[in-house]
């Protein structure tokens, strides 16, 4: 009886601690979708882990002096139950993950392909990203503005990245905005985001691309619309 109470107490402590780890607000739509999925899966995984581990501890304790163990007899009802329960959990995990994968911010190529030849993202701010050994160049749509190692984005707007590489395979990776996409030679890849929090973030190359790979990073600056416009104006006059 005392053991049971301890086990229940331990379980409550674990659940309490997991609730304390309150999620911070996501910095982009992509990031929010990924964080939500993580949280959903955590709420499934946590009780399961607790159930399995506590059962294990209980069984070790309960049968520690059993010198004559007997094998379990067939129990079709039990077997059907655990097979069905496992199946249901796998379907839940699969469907949750698929919904996020199908999100047009996470997998924009799929959204574009299903748009029947129309440009699905016409109203997005378009930025051409050029990766090379070893650095990044960003060109801003119609505006005749190009930056190196510094990517400036408007907040609360859809942004489409057209990604190209001049040499080998690179990968754009902005963890805090939930953006990650391999860039293959000879192809234009697409990535997309919608940043919600102005601030500074890190951009990395996430594909081993030679001796300078570790130095192939950039700063991402998310500005609110007026800040972005002012910056763009500044860049244009500086260039002209
Ligand atoms: Cu480019 Cu690693």
Give the pLDDT confidence score for residue 150 in this predicted structure: 93
146-150 contacts: CB < 8 A, separation 24 or more?
Answer: 147/235, 149/217, 149/218, 149/219, 150/218, 150/219, 150/221
Give the pLDDT confidence score for residue 7 in this predicted structure: 58
Contact present, 63 and 3 (Cβ < 8 Å): no
Give the pLDDT confidence score for residue 122 in this predicted structure: 82
Residue 205 near ligand 1, beta carbon < 6 Å: yes
Give the pLDDT confidence score for residue 110 in this predicted structure: 78
Contact present, 217 and 204 (Cβ < 8 Å): yes
**Would you call 24 helix, strand, or coil by DSSP?**
coil
Please state which CATH number belongs to domain 125-239. 2.60.40.420
CA of 33 to the centre of ligand 1 (A): 26
The Cα diameter of the chain in Å comes to 89
CA of 205 to the centre of ligand 1 (A): 4
Residue 192 near ligand 1, beta carbon < 6 Å: no
What are 103's two structure tokens?
A: 């999100």
Domain boundaries, the chain: 14-64+74-108, 125-239
Record the pTM: 0.78
Give the pLDDT confidence score for residue 81 in this predicted structure: 94
Give the pLDDT confidence score for residue 35 in this predicted structure: 94
CA of 94 to the centre of ligand 1 (A): 31
Rounded CA separation 29/186 (Å): 29
- pLDDT category of residue 8 using cuts at 50, 70 and 90: low
pLDDT digit string, tens, across residues 86-126: 999 999 999 999 999 999 999 888 777 776 656 678 888 99
pLDDT digit string, tens, across residues 56-71: 999 999 999 888 888 8
At the topology level, CATH places domain 14-64+74-108 in: Helix Hairpins (1.10.287)
Q: How many secondary structure helices (H) and strands (E) does the chain include?
A: 5, 10
Give the pLDDT confidence score for residue 172 in this predicted structure: 97
pLDDT digit string, tens, across residues 184-207: 999 999 999 999 999 999 999 999
């Amino acid at each position: 009886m005392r053991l049971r109470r301890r086990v229940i107490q331990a379980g409550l402590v674990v659940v309490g601690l997991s609730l304390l780890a309150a999620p911070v607000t996501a910095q982009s739509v992509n990031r929010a979708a990924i964080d939500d999925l993580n949280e959903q899966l955590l709420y499934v995984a946590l009780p399961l882990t607790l159930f399995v581990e506590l059962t294990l501890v209980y069984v070790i304790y309960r049968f520690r002096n059993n010198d004559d163990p007997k094998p379990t007899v067939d129990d079709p009802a039990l077997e059907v139950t655990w097979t069905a329960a496992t199946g249901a959990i796998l379907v839940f995990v699969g469907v949750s993950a698929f919904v996020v994968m199908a999100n047009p911010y996470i997998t924009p190529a799929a959204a574009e392909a299903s748009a029947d030849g129309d440009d699905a993202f016409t109203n997005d701010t378009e930025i051409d990203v050029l990766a090379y050994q070893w650095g990044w160049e960003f060109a801003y749509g119609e505006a005749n503005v190009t930056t190196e190692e510094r990517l400036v984005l408007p907040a609360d707007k859809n942004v489409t990245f057209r990604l190209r590489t001049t040499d080998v395979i690179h990968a754009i990776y902005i963890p805090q905005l939930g953006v990650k996409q391999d860039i293959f030679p000879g192809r234009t890849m697409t990535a997309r985001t919608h940043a919600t929090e102005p601030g500074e973030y890190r951009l990395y190359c996430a594909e081993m691309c030679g001796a300078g790979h570790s130095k192939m990073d950039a700063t991402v600056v998310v500005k609110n619309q007026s800040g972005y416009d002012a910056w763009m104006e500044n860049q244009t006059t500086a260039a002209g």
